[in-house]
Amino acid sequence: MQFSTPEALHKIIGANNKKIMVDGHQSCPLNAMSVAFNYHTIDINETSSSLSVKGVSPVVRNDKFLIK
């Protein structure tokens, strides 16, 4: 199921008893949340024992307005 970033963060925080997989690799909840910040839309598949997180639409960064 696809979620926006805030909804995905709530879903990840609520899954503290489950094994979290980010792009097919086992991960901690903090790493899954940091991956979620890099995407506008996140696909989360939840089973009884695990939570699978994948990014769908990435955040586009514009370097033109960064201070150097």
pLDDT in tens, 11-67: 999 998 899 999 999 999 999 999 999 999 999 999 999 999 999 999 888 888 878
CA 44 to CA 47: how far, in whole Å?
10
Reduced to 3 states (helix: H, G, I; strand: E, B; else coil), residue 66 is coil
- Please give the DSSP secondary-structure letter assigned to residue 10: H
Predicted TM-score (pTM) of this structure: 0.80
Angle between helices 29-36 and 5-13 (to 10 degrees): 180
